Amino acid sequence: MVPALEVAPQENQDLELDSDMNSNCNGATQERVAVIGSGNWGSVASKLIASNTAKLSSFHDEVRMWVFEETLPSGEKLSEVINRENENVKYLPGVKLGKNVVADPDLVNTVKDATMLVFVTPHQFMEGICKRLIGKVRPDAQAISLIKGMEVKKEGPCMISTLITQLLHINCSVLMGANIANEIAQEKFSEATVGYREDEETALKWVLLFSTPYFLVTPVQDVEGVELCGTLKNVVALAAGFVDGLEMGNNTKAAIMRIGLREMRAFSKLMFPSVKNNTFFESCGVADLITTCLGGRNRKVAEAFAKNNGKRSFDELEAEMLQGQKLQGVSTAREVYEVLSHRGWQELFPLFTTVYEICIGHLSPSAIVEYSEHKPNFALVDGSAQVY
Amino acid sequence: MVPALEVAPQENQDLELDSDMNSNCNGATQERVAVIGSGNWGSVASKLIASNTAKLSSFHDEVRMWVFEETLPSGEKLSEVINRENENVKYLPGVKLGKNVVADPDLVNTVKDATMLVFVTPHQFMEGICKRLIGKVRPDAQAISLIKGMEVKKEGPCMISTLITQLLHINCSVLMGANIANEIAQEKFSEATVGYREDEETALKWVLLFSTPYFLVTPVQDVEGVELCGTLKNVVALAAGFVDGLEMGNNTKAAIMRIGLREMRAFSKLMFPSVKNNTFFESCGVADLITTCLGGRNRKVAEAFAKNNGKRSFDELEAEMLQGQKLQGVSTAREVYEVLSHRGWQELFPLFTTVYEICIGHLSPSAIVEYSEHKPNFALVDGSAQVY
């Protein structure tokens, strides 16, 4: 099949020459890539990247991957086993990463020579990691964040890409999409979206670095839109889970997903007027939403919550179903609600608001499909023209 | 939940007054509705409409429903049983239609006094029905088509709404969306989209006539975009079914659905430059696509086709799985392919093209996710600016 508008091999060639011609000015003619993070998604990202750096002359073969060192039950260090087996036996067992992936437990050493930094850690660790990297990264380095689920504070979303730029004073793009790490590790067909700020040439380098025949990457000039999709979709996944638990059928589920996508779009555009409608047609938008609402932890626990008619709390169900892991969706729903109530926008976002009130037990799960006479009136909101 | 931008009761009030004030000029102060068709969806549409005409003073209570007369096994006439039982025992058993629904086997008599005509028959009968109605409908009547799956001829799509306007010389809107008739009959929450040409006041009358607390209708000024969504989604559903049959997972399925939505949008905009991007965010677009790719006949048979690795033809599987009923998707895929090859656009629509070639056995089902070096170049197509 011929997925349209993606980077095809002949275009890779152009990009490659292009990035050669624009090699950075301190003599280095090749980009050096460091991956900060080595969990499930970080390991898959390293595998994708390593398959490209091995063949593209504009990149140095070696991909250095920072490993938060652990001692395995065998008594060995995780980084040593990864380098010996060429496999992350703990977070991506059974998949070879590529011989040019080098695990390094030393964060500063990992980034030392890198011109392209790929951040893919749990988002709660990012602030600490960035602080340790202040003054340690090349001033000409470019960053990209694969981290979904930045925090949404009262004042507005606190983007991971912004955090990286503010602390390290380097430009930061994002890569988001319908990306279930294990399916991509098995080289099943998938897509992703690179969101960039101004520098299209750098965006195309990221596209080149991640694209494979089974992983198609499209660049869009809309960092905030792409990054917000990765977070807000988890709130919609809770709504979809409620519908599943109530056994309302595909028709209702599709309607709720559509309304959710519309609120994702409206919320993003009110927060950042630069956000583009078309971003929501990309993999980071509609495709990631579909994947998350079909499978996914948030949908699953929300389904159980609705089946129990809200009588068992999310904390209880999380502890039971996710071995104490926390659901992104529930905290994001609360954070989004804080923004809405802070600005008096609850009635403009009926789905987001209702999901939160169901999560905290103020409404029953069936409220997700109960009609109300309220009707959003965006005329009340400055700069809200055409948010829908 | 508060589905945004839908017609809330207080707005219904305004519309009602509004349509009263604008009652047609030949003295009638109430709209009279006729439904042409009484199958599964036609019966549900009559039920929705009847629940509104019974309470809104701007509409005459009675909803006249044309029944293609049949003799039931009991020897009774279908129309007589519907009028006695207030139920379409053959096509929507167990659901009361409303006492103000009157089944009429006489097509001409059904439309005689109607100011609002709702067409909801199988599309292959529409030309014959319209020909029988020439000169029989009120010149001031408004029409709406609920018929999905108009034909796509070499020269381009042959819209049902256009057929109605050309033959009956009346304005025609369309209503499409994620509408599984039986789920709506059970009053499960759902949405729909009314596509209209110029006359917004009439569009709002249609919204008023169909909207209920569990069925939310949104008007958009884009007849062609809305109508094409209802047809093209069946081609994407085949692609989604192939992915299911190949057991590629949700990630790949979401990617294929996204690429399909993009081709629906590009095809519609190349055919009708007036088509709007936002139409594809409405129920007729993304929501109907999701419903159709999750459930639906086309997806189901395509899944079986892929499981058999194309060794059993669609004709064979249809006969076995659908009691000889034909799949919309397969004929639409062929019709769309004829347009593409007629214009030399195959490479611009890799998904549509690949689905057709899989259907006719030129490619194996796995081709749906096989990468190719071809890449659409819309610069080659006149007026194609920003079709994506």
Same domain for B145 and B272:
no
**DSSP of B270-285:** HH-TT--GGGGGSIII
The reply to whether residue B261 touches residue A281, judged by beta carbons under 8 angstroms, is: yes
Residues A41-51 have a mean pLDDT of 98
- Cα nearest neighbour of B258 on chain A: A287
Is residue A384 over pLDDT 90?
no
Longest dimension (CA), chain A: 66
How far apart are the C-alpha atoms of B136 and A325, rounded to whole Å? 68
Mean pLDDT by 10 residues, chain B (388 residues): 40 39 53 97 98 97 97 97 97 97 98 98 93 98 93 84 97 95 93 96 97 95 97 96 95 96 96 96 97 94 95 91 82 94 93 96 93 53 54
Same domain for B75 and B126:
yes
Q: Is residue A4 part of a domain?
A: no
Of A249, A294, A373, the CB nearest to B9: A373
Res B15: pLDDT: 39
Q: How confident is the model at residue A342 (pLDDT cuts 50, 70, 90)?
A: very high
Per residue in A177-188, pLDDT tens? Answer: 998 899 999 999
- Cα nearest neighbour of B357 on chain A: A1
**DSSP of B11-23:** HHHHHHHHHHHT-
- The dihedrals phi and psi of B372, each to the nearest 5 degrees, come to -135, 160
Three-state secondary structure along A20-53? Answer: HHCCCCCCCCCEEEEEECCCHHHHHHHHHHHHHH
The reply to whether residue B252 touches residue A10, judged by beta carbons under 8 angstroms, is: no
Same domain for A247 and A203:
no
Of B258, B348, B354, the CB nearest to A191: B258
Look at residues B221, B252, B275 and tell me which one is the last residue of a structural domain.
B221
Query: Scanning the structure block, which residue is given the tokens 């349509």?
Result: B19
Is residue A28 over pLDDT 80?
no
Same domain for B242 and B213:
no
- Residue A37 annotated in ligand binding: yes
The reply to whether residue B10 touches residue A261, judged by beta carbons under 8 angstroms, is: no
Same domain for A235 and A211:
no
How many other C-beta atoms can be found within 10 angstroms of the C-beta atom of residue B286?
29
Q: Is residue A156 part of a domain?
A: yes
Residues 6+ apart with CB under 8 A from A5: A218, B375, B376, B388
- The dihedrals phi and psi of A28, each to the nearest 5 degrees, come to -65, 130
Per residue in A206-246, pLDDT tens? Answer: 999 999 999 999 999 999 999 999 999 999 999 999 999 99
Res B380: pLDDT: 52
Per residue in B94-142, pLDDT tens? Answer: 999 999 999 999 999 999 999 999 999 998 899 999 999 999 999 999 9
Same domain for A217 and A343:
no
Contacts of B367 in chain A (CB under 8 A): 1
Res A356: pLDDT: 97
- Which residue range is the domain that position B20 belongs to? 9-221
Res A151: pLDDT: 79
Same domain for A72 and A138:
yes
Res A324: pLDDT: 65
Among A residues 59-78, those touching chain B with beta carbons less than 8 Å apart:
none
Binding residues of B are: 37-42, 68, 125, 148, 181, 297-298, 326, 328
Among A residues 123-142, those touching chain B with beta carbons less than 8 Å apart:
none
- Please list the active-site residues of B: 233
How do B31-36 and B116-119 pair as beta strands?
parallel
The reply to whether residue A258 touches residue B286, judged by beta carbons under 8 angstroms, is: yes
Q: Establish if A281 touches chain B: CB-CB under 8 angstroms.
A: yes
Alpha helices in chain A, H assignment, sequence order: 9-21, 40-53, 78-85, 107-111, 126-133, 160-168, 181-185, 200-210, 223-245, 250-271, 288-294, 297-307, 314-321, 328-343, 350-359
Is residue A374 over pLDDT 50?
no
Q: Establish if A364 touches chain B: CB-CB under 8 angstroms.
A: no
Among A residues 172-191, those touching chain B with beta carbons less than 8 Å apart:
178-180, 183-184, 188-191
How many other C-beta atoms can be found within 10 angstroms of the C-beta atom of residue B167?
17
Q: Kindly report the nearest CA distance between residue A377 and chain B, in angstroms.
A: 8
Beta strand residue intervals within B129-220, DSSP E: 142-145, 151-153, 156-158, 172-176, 190-195, 215-220
Contact present, B172 and B164 (Cβ < 8 Å): yes
Contacts of B249 in chain A (CB under 8 A): 180, 183, 188
Count up the domains in chain B and report the number: 2
Look at residues A199, A221, A243 and tell me which one is the last residue of a structural domain.
A221
The reply to whether residue A178 touches residue B288, judged by beta carbons under 8 angstroms, is: no
Look at residues A160, A188, A221 and tell me which one is the last residue of a structural domain.
A221
Res B209: pLDDT: 98
What Å distances lie between residue A45 and A7, A146, A220, CA to CA? Answer: 18, 9, 20
Same domain for B200 and B236:
no
Q: Is residue B287 part of a domain?
A: yes
Q: How confident is the model at residue A370 (pLDDT cuts 50, 70, 90)?
A: confident
The reply to whether residue A262 touches residue B250, judged by beta carbons under 8 angstroms, is: no
Same domain for A276 and A363:
yes
The reply to whether residue B283 touches residue A258, judged by beta carbons under 8 angstroms, is: yes
Of A90, A96, A188, A233, which is the active-site residue?
Answer: A233
Residues 6+ apart with CB under 8 A from B11: A375
- Residue A297 annotated in ligand binding: yes
Res B124: pLDDT: 87
Q: Is residue A3 part of a domain?
A: no
> What single DSSP character describes residue B154?
T
**DSSP of A2-14:** --TTS--HHHHHH
The reply to whether residue A282 touches residue B258, judged by beta carbons under 8 angstroms, is: yes
Is residue A76 over pLDDT 90?
yes
Q: Is residue A330 part of a domain?
A: yes
Q: Establish if B151 touches chain A: CB-CB under 8 angstroms.
A: no
Q: Return the number of CB contacts < 8 Å for A and B.
A: 235
Q: Radius of gyration (Cα) for chain A, nearest Å? A: 21
Residues A8-31 have a mean pLDDT of 47
Q: Is residue B117 part of a domain?
A: yes
Same domain for B282 and B368:
yes
The reply to whether residue B258 touches residue A4, judged by beta carbons under 8 angstroms, is: no
Among A residues 336-355, those touching chain B with beta carbons less than 8 Å apart:
347-351, 353-354
Q: Is residue A82 part of a domain?
A: yes
CATH for B168? 3.40.50.720
Contacts of B184 in chain A (CB under 8 A): 251
Is residue A136 over pLDDT 60?
yes
Of A63, A51, A172, A47, the C-alpha closest to A114 is A63
Three-state secondary structure along A92-145? Answer: CCCCECCCCEEEECCHHHHHCCCCEEEECCCHHHHHHHHHHHCCCCCCCCEEEE
- Cα nearest neighbour of A214 on chain B: B371
Of A189, A282, A353, the CB nearest to B369: A189
Is residue A4 over pLDDT 50?
no
Res A19: pLDDT: 40
The reply to whether residue A277 touches residue B277, judged by beta carbons under 8 angstroms, is: yes
Same domain for B86 and B159:
yes
The reply to whether residue B183 touches residue A4, judged by beta carbons under 8 angstroms, is: no
Q: Establish if B357 touches chain A: CB-CB under 8 angstroms.
A: no
Contacts of B5 in chain A (CB under 8 A): 375-376, 388
How far apart are the C-alpha atoms of B378 and B388, rounded to whole Å? 9
Encoded tokens for B294: 């999750």
Of B188, B373, B376, the CB nearest to A249: B188
Q: Establish if A379 touches chain B: CB-CB under 8 angstroms.
A: no
Question: Chain centroid to CA A168: how far?
Answer: 20
Same domain for A153 and A73:
yes
CATH for B285? 1.10.1040.10
Contacts of B250 in chain A (CB under 8 A): 178, 180, 183, 290-291, 294-295
Encoded tokens for B112: 């005689």
Contacts of B216 in chain A (CB under 8 A): 255, 371
Of A292, A265, A260, the C-alpha closest to A279 is A265
Res A13: pLDDT: 38
Among B residues 212-241, those touching chain A with beta carbons less than 8 Å apart:
213-214, 216
Q: Establish if B5 touches chain A: CB-CB under 8 angstroms.
A: yes
Q: Is residue A163 part of a domain?
A: yes
Contacts of B3 in chain A (CB under 8 A): 255, 259, 350-351, 371
Residues 6+ apart with CB under 8 A from A34: A63, A64, A65, A66, A110, A111, A114, A116, A117, A118
Contacts of B277 in chain A (CB under 8 A): 277-278, 281
